[in-house]
């Protein structure tokens, strides 16, 4: 909402500097985003008070040397006049008396011939042989608009010789209107706020009109089909208007407020809408009479299926019963509150006008605005709710102003169809209520003063209670306890939030709960970061195609949470896996870094039987490239591999103290067969990892081998023990014994380890695989696994015989179980 | 006797001179052998002891031993000197160029959003607000209706929403539905929770707007929670988050689920309030929205608004990170380019 200060000042004196006013409004919930200054001090080009003044044309005569130019004599004070050369088409030869803006030598103006904003300083010069040291200005030269067709003609009331800045200069506040402040989509609405904030009083004289014509009831009949959709419809009729341009002050204010002037009748509808917040529409009354072949009967009703209307913009619109229409007996004449029809629009030929000032339900307007894609100043207001009470005063004000600008006779009275008048809420506001919400006592007198300044009618009922009647122009204040909160906000924001004291919460502390899931997840993050992984966060939106690329050859599409209104083709569903996002990140960074090591923690979205999906949190790890960052000290480096990834999974689980994870070979189309493992704990699978299949890598443009794990994080974290015992540090030295066992290639290392452990007994403290050998020294199909066995007793130093016995038992057991032989 | 002691003296002199002039360990060893070896000069001289009378022999023996001990000491000293010289020479040869870069660490890092979320949640945890996580995919009812935002209400314009193909199911536009969920779960207990989470908005992805972003929302509900508490609590947070000397201000605002509603600005930490590009020369940064929980929302959570009150607030951690680090483009957060991530 753009609020010209000169307009605001008609309703409320502004006793403080504009910057202060802007601050007060901003702090009270009306954010002033910009202060525009036009012509006055502080604007981009302040108008020189002495050199840019109001002048009056005395004479317009031909230029002796140029057909397209004229000489105009302009007075700008007693005995002060200038002759100027101009080519303005709106100063015809022989005309006189027009008020203009005269610029004298030395004045700074905008250069109207420059395509980019530039200023010039006026100098005396000969134009086709006639010397002139002054000029009459166009709107563009003053920076008022782009208009440079003719010169700016002022209203007759402009005092000759006065600085233009005093007549035309202005300051416009650009105010952001929040949803609960729709009442401030009007000058009067803002004026009420200013009054409450500055302690002033709004002056809004009740509108009156000289309705000397025949009763309006003889000119129009009104019907509302459904008061839930249209609470009120009022109309006035003005006969004998002369369509023409509005006076300069109307056009100027409309322009300052951001609306293009059209003609006096249409301008009035916009002017009064800006002033009161009530959208209005003018119909050509004679067209209505012609269509009705008699007394027009206007009905507000939902469209019939298949009805069409050609709107003002020339578009033929098909209508559905969801669209609310203004109709007459011949059919639609306007889309209610959104746009008028072309046929009944006011034209230059219009002489009789029917002015609509009506009320429509905001939901209907919003639906229609969205469906027809027709946002407008009117629908913006209706769409946020306009009080039905506004219709009548706005109708009167607009009709009177229309008569003032366009002449004519006003039919007597306002046709008013208002089947179910809105009753504003009445709220009982008790002192303790305010204190309970705000935390500070508000003296009753202060509350009453503030609310009255905002037009609430207050009746004090004793020392501790106010009966508050909500003014009819407020729709944002509710009933009962909601209304109490609404009033608390009114009181607080007028007092100023910065004047509300500061306290520490004294309320009971809630029962404290352990946040195990969150704490353990953060622990997992720390472990992974410590292990050298970079955390990533990817889009949780993806496409089925992207995830299908993880499963080469698969055509089955699982059920996704699918967007009804995706904003781009690559974000259409919620992800079901973290793998795709991770592979994308690996691929993107592959060109940038030689070592890639990432993890992501976040939910996937799995549709089940319920309305809302499961959102299990998962953990994904991705590795590619070097094990360590490139360095001169290690120019070749080693490349990461399956076992690096497995080490991370093992390390994470160990760090979380998840007991006894088991790793088994697994098949999964994302991964290379034979290089894929499933990790299970207590018989339950908690994740899968492996080397990414070359075909998958290709789909993701990943140029180098990559290794990816995806774990069910919530399941993993649920296995974290609440506490675990720590063993005493042994007091006696361990005995280390290395053995190399030759087994069939197919025997898993884990089976050998398990057999060793099982046979080892209590003295075997640790088993570590330290070497794997396949080759010439062994028969084909065999491998050698070398283990370091650590024997330890808690109460003594072990002897060679102790260890020898243990070792023999272990060797015997692995030979029986797996055919393992000690390598010679 | 004289002859023997004289020759011992002479031997001692030449031996000391030879020790002093031994240039390296090998030469020194040769000196040692020459004088102290079994066939060495000292031994040769001592063989003459037998020719002496028994009266002369002790004195001559002592002299010989003294000389031997002095010579051994001198050899040791020289040995140490020469060894040190050898070591110094080796170390000099093995001198490193200390200006060569160190071996780079395979550093892991948290994502910047996690870092800021942790910091925010930690501060609130210290103030007794526990994390409450709630789901991303929500019902229209939870995300809007129960938060006092009915269908087609003008306030809905504040949220451009991703709807799913299932009627009434959407991607949450804010973490606020968690307010309803936690209230329904905990009612009638008092509540102090912080709700971090990913939110979604139907927006073109640009340097300034994203389709997904984190939000951290806070909620306190109890029998005696007031707007002065809201101010006090949020100022405490701001002082920990942005510095104890930072000015904080509150402006009236509007959110459908709070009444009264406010917006909290913090003095720009980059320019100290003097005005800069980041704060658009206002000296202030908009940090969070807040307000007293709307009575309808309390009701929808199961609390009687005549008995209970509460405050709520919400902030954008990515926005705060952007302000802190002068990041101009929000798209960096989910692009996961290491050139960005490695800077944290």
Q: What confidence tens digit (pLDDT) does each residue in A330-389 have?
A: 999 999 999 999 999 999 999 999 999 999 999 999 999 988 888 889 999 999 999 999
Query: A495: how many CB neighbours lie within 10 A of its CB?
Result: 17
> Given an 8 Å threshold on Cβ–Cβ distance, is B108 in contact with A531?
yes
Q: Which of B114, B164, B249 sits opposite A561 (nearest CB)?
A: B164
SS3 (DSSP) at A38: strand
pLDDT value of residue A66? 87
pLDDT, mean of residues A78-86? 91
Distance CA A224, CA A436 (A): 45
Give the start-end residues of each E strand in A630-683: 661-665, 671-681
Query: Which among A534, A628, A528, A588 is positioned nearest to B337, based on CA atoms?
Result: A588
Question: Inter-chain contact A498–B305, Cβ cutoff 8 Å?
Answer: no
Written as one string, the DSSP assignment of B281-312 is TSSEEEEEEEEEEPHHHHHHTT--TTT-EEEE
Q: A497 contacts in B (CB within 8 Å)? A: 231, 249-252, 262
pLDDT tier for residue A146 given thresholds of 50, 70 and 90? confident
C-alpha distances in angstroms, A439 versus A480, B175, B223? 20, 27, 12
DSSP A750: H
Report the residue of chain A nearest B189, measured CA to CA.
A510
Crossing angle of helices A264-276 and A248-257, in 10° steps, is 50
Q: What is the pLDDT of residue B2?
A: 61
Here the tokens at position A2 are 């753009």
Do the Cβ atoms of B89 and B321 come closer than 8 Å? no
HSE of B207, CA atoms in CB hemisphere, 13 A: 4
Contact check, Cβ <8 Å, A529/B191: no
Which distant-in-sequence residues (6+ apart) come within 8 Å of A91 by Cβ? A57, A60, A70, A72, A98, A136, A150, A151
Backbone phi and psi for residue B11, each to the nearest 5 degrees, phi listed first: -60, -45
Inter-chain residue contact B168 with A611, CB threshold 8 Å:
yes
Q: State how far the Cα of A526 lies from the Cα of B114, in Å rounded to an integer.
A: 11
CB contact under 8 A, A498 and B335: no
Which tokens is B4 given? 């023997």
Q: What is the pLDDT of residue B60?
A: 80
CB contacts, 8 Å: B333 with chain A: 537
Mean pLDDT, rounded, for A668-697 = 97
Burial A780-817, CB ≥16 within 10 A → b, else e: eebbbbebebbbbbeeeebeeeebeebbeebbebbeeb
The single-letter DSSP state of residue A183 is: G
How far is the C-alpha of B27 from the C-alpha of B35, rounded, in Å? 12
Averaged pLDDT, A20-36: 94
- Phi, psi (deg, nearest 5) at residue A254: -60, -45
Q: Which residue of B has its CA nearest to A364?
A: B152
Q: Which chain A residues have a beta carbon less than 8 Å from that of B253?
A: 29, 178
Q: Beta-carbon neighbour count of residue A211 at 10 Å?
A: 21
Residue of A179, A497, A564 with shortest CB distance to B155? A179
% of chain A at pLDDT higher than 70: 100
- Torsion of Cα atoms, B178 then B182 then B187 then B189, to 10°: -130
Task: Assess contact for B315 and B216: CB atoms under 8 A.
Answer: yes
- Which of A478, A534, A562 should we substitute to test contact with B (largest number of B Cβ atoms within 10 Å)? A534
Tell me, what's the pLDDT at A129?
87
Which residue in this structure is represented by tokens 């300052």?
A256
Structure tokens at A281: 């529409």
User: What does the alpha-carbon distance between residue A141 and residue A113 come to, in Å, rounded to a whole number?
Assistant: 9
Choice among A118-122, A268-272, A592-596, A617-621 with the minimum mean pLDDT: A118-122
Tell me the HSE value of A244 on the side-chain side, using a 13 A CA sphere: 10
CA distance B201 to chain A (A): 10
Distances (CA, A) of B95 to B52, B81, B89, B102: 59, 21, 10, 16
> Are the beta carbons of A613 and B137 separated by less than 8 Å?
yes
Burial class (CB in 10 A: 0-12, 13-18, 19+), A225: middle
User: A422-471: per-residue pLDDT in tens?
Assistant: 899 999 999 899 999 999 999 999 999 999 999 999 999 999 999 999 99
Residues 6+ apart with CB under 8 A from B301: B146, B179, B180, B182, B183, B184, B187, B221
Q: What does the pLDDT average to over A123-143?
A: 90
Residue B1 has pLDDT above 60, yes or no: no
Predicted pLDDT of residue A492? 95
Is residue A794 less than 8 Å (CB to CB) from chain B? no
Mean pLDDT of A100-118: 91
Find the distance separating the first CA and the last CA of chain B, reported in whole Å.
88
Q: Among A703, A699, A661, A666, which Cα is nearest to A579's?
A: A699
Q: Is the peptide bond before B90 cis (omega within 30 degrees of 0)?
A: no
| C-beta neighbour count of A622 within 10 angstroms | 30
Query: Which range has the worst mean pLDDT, A814-823, B152-161, B301-310?
Result: B152-161
Return the exposure string of A513-528: e unless at least 16 CB atoms fall within 10 Å of the residue's CB, then b. eebeebebbbbbbebb
Task: Work out the average pLDDT over B212-230.
Answer: 97
Residue in A565, A603, A632 closest to B162 by CB: A565
Over residues A763-803, the pLDDT tens digits come to 999 999 999 999 999 999 999 999 999 999 989 999 999 99
User: How many Cα atoms are found within 13 Å in the side-chain-facing hemisphere of A477?
Assistant: 27
Q: Which of A501, A513, A592 sits opposite B339 (nearest CB)?
A: A592
pLDDT tops 70 at residue A421: yes
For residue A646, report the phi and psi dihedrals to the nearest 5 degrees.
Answer: -60, -40
Rg (CA), chain A: 42
Residue in B closest to A525 by C-alpha: B110
Look at residue A308 in the predicted model and tell me its pLDDT. 94
Q: Read off the pLDDT band of B61 (50, 70, 90).
A: confident
Q: With 0-12 CB in 10 A as exposed, 13-18 as middle and 19+ as buried, what is A766?
A: middle
Phi-psi sector, A410: left (phi>0), alpha (psi -120 to 50), beta? beta
- The answer to whether A567 faces chain B, any CB pair under 8 Å, is yes
Tokens of A634: 């290690």
Q: Closest approach of chain A CAs to the CA of B230, in angstroms?
A: 8
Q: Do A615 and B137 touch (CB under 8 A)?
A: yes
Interatomic CA distance for residues A310 and A349, integer angstroms: 20
* Minimum distance, in Å, between the CA of residue A588 and any CA atom of chain B: 7
pLDDT tens-digit map of B136-194: 999 999 999 999 999 888 778 778 999 999 999 999 999 999 999 999 999 999 999 99
Token digits for A85? 């050369």
What Å distances lie between residue B116 and A537, A599, B123, CA to CA? 13, 18, 11
A480: left (phi over 0), alpha (psi -120 to 50) or beta: left
Which residues of chain B lie closer than 8 angstroms to A485, CB-CB?
Answer: 259-260, 292, 294-295
Tell me the CA distances in angstroms from B343 to A503, A594, A625, B337, one per residue in order.
39, 17, 21, 11
pLDDT score recorded for residue A137: 93
Q: What is the pLDDT of residue A253?
A: 94
Find which of A535, A543, A633, A638 to mutate to test the B interface (most B CBs within 10 Å of its CB): A535
Each residue's pLDDT tens digit, A706-734: 999 999 999 999 999 999 999 889 999 99
Residue of A nearest to B292 (CA): A437
> Nearest 5°: CA angle at B205, between A598 and A574?
60
Q: Under an 8 A CB cutoff, do A538 and B168 touch?
A: no
CB-CB under 8 Å, B223 with A488: no
In angstroms, what separates the C-alpha of A618 from chain B's closest C-alpha?
14
| pLDDT at residue A681 greater than cutoff 60 | yes
CB contact under 8 A, A564 and B163: yes
A436 and B226: CB-CB below 8 Å? yes
Total-model pTM = 0.88
Contacts of B254 in chain A (CB under 8 A): 29, 178-181
Q: Does the pLDDT of residue A297 top 90, yes or no?
A: yes
Dihedral angle sign, alpha carbons of residues A21, A24, A29, A34: positive
Closest residue to A589, CB basis, from B136, B253, B337: B337
Query: Which residue, among B130, B160, B227, B304, would best test binding to A if mutated, counting the most A CBs under 10 Å from its CB?
Result: B227
Residue B244 binned pLDDT confidence (cut-offs 50, 70, 90): very high
Q: Which of A130-139, A156-165, A528-537 has the highest mean pLDDT?
A: A528-537
pLDDT confidence bin for B50, thresholds 50/70/90: confident
Is residue B198 a contact partner of residue B136, using CB atoms and an 8 Å limit? yes
Is residue A65's pLDDT more than 70? Answer: yes
Q: How far apart are CA B188 and CA A294, in angstroms?
A: 67
With residue A772 as reference, give the H or E element that holds it: strand A764-773
On the CB side of B19, CA atoms within 13 Å amount to 22
Asked if A505's CB is within 8 angstroms of B233's CB, the reply is yes
Cis preceding-peptide flag for B188 (omega within 30 of 0): yes
| Chain A stretch 501-560, residues whose beta carbon is closer than 8 A to a beta carbon of chain B | 501-513, 515, 517-518, 522, 525, 528-541
Task: Summarize the confidence of residues B247-269 as an average pLDDT.
Answer: 94
Interchain contact A259–B (C-beta under 8 A) = no
Rounded to a whole number of angstroms, the distance from the CA of A640 to the nearest CA of chain B is 13
Q: How confident is the model at residue A88 (pLDDT cuts 50, 70, 90)?
A: confident
Return the pLDDT at A46: 92
Q: From the CA atom positions of chain B, what is the Rg in Å?
A: 43
Q: How far is B156 from chain A (nearest CA, A)?
A: 9
Tell me if B106 and A534 make a contact (CB, 8 A cut-off): no
Could you give the angle at the alpha carbon of A629 between the alpha carbons of A625 and A630, nearest 5°?
A: 90
Residues of chain B with C-beta less than 8 angstroms from the C-beta of A535: 108-111, 114, 341
B-chain residues near A384 (CB < 8 A): 154
């Amino acid at each position: 909402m753009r609020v010209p200060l000169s307009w605001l000042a008609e309703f409320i004196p502004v006793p403080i500097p504009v910057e202060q006013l802007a601050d007060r409004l901003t702090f009270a919930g009306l954010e002033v985003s910009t202060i525009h200054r036009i012509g006055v001090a502080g604007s981009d080009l302040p108008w020189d008070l002495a050199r840019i003044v109001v002048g009056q044309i005395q004479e317009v005569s031909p230029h002796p040397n140029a057909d397209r130019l004229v000489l105009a004599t302009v007075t700008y004070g007693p005995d002060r006049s200038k002759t100027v050369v101009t080519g303005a088409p709106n100063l015809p030869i022989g005309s006189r008396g027009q008020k203009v803006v005269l610029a004298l030598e030395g004045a700074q103006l905008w250069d109207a011939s420059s395509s980019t904003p530039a200023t010039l300083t006026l100098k005396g010069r000969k134009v086709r042989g006639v010397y002139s040291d002054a000029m009459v200005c166009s709107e563009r030269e003053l920076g008022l608009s782009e208009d440079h067709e003719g010169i700016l003609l002022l209203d007759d009331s402009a005092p000759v010789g006065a600085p233009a800045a005093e007549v035309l200069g202005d300051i416009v506040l650009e105010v952001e209107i929040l949803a609960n402040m729709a009442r401030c989509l009007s000058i009067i609405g803002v004026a009420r706020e200013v009054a409450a904030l500055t302690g002033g009083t709004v002056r809004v004289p009740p509108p009156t009109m000289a309705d000397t014509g025949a009763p309006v009831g003889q000119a129009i009949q009104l019907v509302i089909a459904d008061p839930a959709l249209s609470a009120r419809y009022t109309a006035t009729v003005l006969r004998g208007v002369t369509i023409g341009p509005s006076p300069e002050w109307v056009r100027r204010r409309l322009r300052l407020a951001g609306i293009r002037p059209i003609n006096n009748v249409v301008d009035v509808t916009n002017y009064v809408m800006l002033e009161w917040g009530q959208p209005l529409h003018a119909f050509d009354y004679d067209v209505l009479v012609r269509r009705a072949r008699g007394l027009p009967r206007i009905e507000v009703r939902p469209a019939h299926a298949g009805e069409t209307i050609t709107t003002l913009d020339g578009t033929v619109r098909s209508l559905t019963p969801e669209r609310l229409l203004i109709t007459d007996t011949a059919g639609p004449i306007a889309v209610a509150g959104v746009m008028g029809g072309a046929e009944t629009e006011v034209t230059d030929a219009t002489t009789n006008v029917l002015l609509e000032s009506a009320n429509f339900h905001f939901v209907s307007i919003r639906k229609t605005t969205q469906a027809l894609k027709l946002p407008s100043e009117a629908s913006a207001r209706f769409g946020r709710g306009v009080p039905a009470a506004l219709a009548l005063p706005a109708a009167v004000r607009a009709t009177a102003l229309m008569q003032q600008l366009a002449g004519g006779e006003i039919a007597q009275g306002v046709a008013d169809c208002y089947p179910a008048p809105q009753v504003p809420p009445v709220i009982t506001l008790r002192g303790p209520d305010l204190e309970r919400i705000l935390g500070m006592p508000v003296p009753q007198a202060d509350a009453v003063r503030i609310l009255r300044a905002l037009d609430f009618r207050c009746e004090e009922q004793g020392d501790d209670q106010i009966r508050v009647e909500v003014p009819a122009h407020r729709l944002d204040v509710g009933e009962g306890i909601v209304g109490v909160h609404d009033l608390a906000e009114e009181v607080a924001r007028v007092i100023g939030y910065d004047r509300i004291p500061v306290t520490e919460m004294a309320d009971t502390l809630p029962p404290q709960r352990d946040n195990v899931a969150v704490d353990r997840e953060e622990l997992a993050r720390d472990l992974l970061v410590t292990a050298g992984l970079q955390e990533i966060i990817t889009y949780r939106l993806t496409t089925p195609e992207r995830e299908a690329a993880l499963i080469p050859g698969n055509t089955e599409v699982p059920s996704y949470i699918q967007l009804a209104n995706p904003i781009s083709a690559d974000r259409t569903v919620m992800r079901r896996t973290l793998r795709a996002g991770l592979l994308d990140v690996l691929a993107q960074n592959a060109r940038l870094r030689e070592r890639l090591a990432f993890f992501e923690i976040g939910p996937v979205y799995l549709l089940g039987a319920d309305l809302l999906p499961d959102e299990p949190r998962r953990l994904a790890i991705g590795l590619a490239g070097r094990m360590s960052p490139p360095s001169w000290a290690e120019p070749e480096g080693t490349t990461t591999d399956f076992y690096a990834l497995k080490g991370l999974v093992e390390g994470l689980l160990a760090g979380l103290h998840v007991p006894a994870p088991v790793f088994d070979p697994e098949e999964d189309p994302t991964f290379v067969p034979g290089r894929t493992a499933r990790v299970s704990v207590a018989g339950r699978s908690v994740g899968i990892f492996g080397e990414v299949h070359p075909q998958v890598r290709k789909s993701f443009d990943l140029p180098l081998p990559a290794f990816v794990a995806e774990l069910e994080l919530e399941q993993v974290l649920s296995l974290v023990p609440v506490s675990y015992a720590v063993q005493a540090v042994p007091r006696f030295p361990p005995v280390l014994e290395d053995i190399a066992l030759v087994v069939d290639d197919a025997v898993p290392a884990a089976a050998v380890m398990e057999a060793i452990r099982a046979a080892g007994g209590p003295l075997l403290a640790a088993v570590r695989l330290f070497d794997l050998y396949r080759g010439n020294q062994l028969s084909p199909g065999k491998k050698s696994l070398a283990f370091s066995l650590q024997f330890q007793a808690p109460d003594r130093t072990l002897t060679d015989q102790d260890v020898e016995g243990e070792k023999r038992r272990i060797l015997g057991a692995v030979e029986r179980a797996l055919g393992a032989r000690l390598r010679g | 006797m004289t002859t023997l002691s004289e020759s011992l003296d002479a031997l001692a002199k030449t031996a000391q001179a030879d020790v002093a002039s031994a240039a390296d360990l090998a030469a020194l060893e040769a000196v040692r052998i020459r004088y102290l070896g079994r066939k060495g000069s000292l031994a040769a001289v001592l063989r003459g002891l037998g020719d002496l009378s028994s009266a002369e022999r002790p004195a001559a023996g002592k002299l010989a031993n003294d000389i031997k001990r002095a010579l051994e000491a001198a050899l040791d000293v020289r040995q140490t000197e020469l060894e040190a010289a050898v070591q110094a020479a080796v170390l000099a040869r093995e001198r490193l160029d200390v200006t060569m870069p160190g071996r780079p660490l395979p550093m892991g890092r948290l994502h910047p959003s996690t870092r800021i979320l942790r910091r925010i949640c930690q501060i609130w945890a210290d103030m007794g607000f526990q994390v409450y996580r709630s789901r991303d995919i929500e019902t229209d009812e939870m995300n809007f209706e129960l938060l006092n935002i009915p269908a087609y209400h003008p306030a809905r314009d504040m949220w451009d929403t991703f709807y799913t193909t299932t009627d009434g199911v959407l991607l949450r536009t804010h973490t606020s539905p968690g307010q309803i969920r936690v209230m329904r779960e905990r009612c009638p207990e008092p509540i102090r929770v912080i709700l971090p989470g990913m939110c979604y908005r139907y927006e073109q992805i640009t340097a300034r707007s994203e389709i997904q972003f984190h939000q951290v929302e806070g909620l306190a509900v109890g029998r005696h929670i007031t707007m002065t508490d809201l101010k006090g609590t949020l100022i405490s947070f701001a002082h920990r988050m942005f510095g104890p000397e930072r000015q904080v201000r509150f402006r009236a605002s509007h959110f459908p689920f709070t009444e009264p509603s406010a917006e909290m600005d913090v003095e720009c930490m980059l320019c100290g309030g003097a005005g800069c590009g980041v704060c658009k020369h206002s000296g202030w940064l908009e940090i969070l929205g807040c307000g007293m929980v709307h009575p309808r929302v309390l009701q929808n959570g199961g609390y009687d608004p005549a008995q209970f009150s509460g405050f709520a607030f919400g902030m954008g951690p990515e926005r705060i990170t952007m302000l802190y680090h002068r990041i101009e483009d929000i798209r960096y957060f989910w692009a996961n380019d290491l050139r960005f991530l490695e800077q944290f």
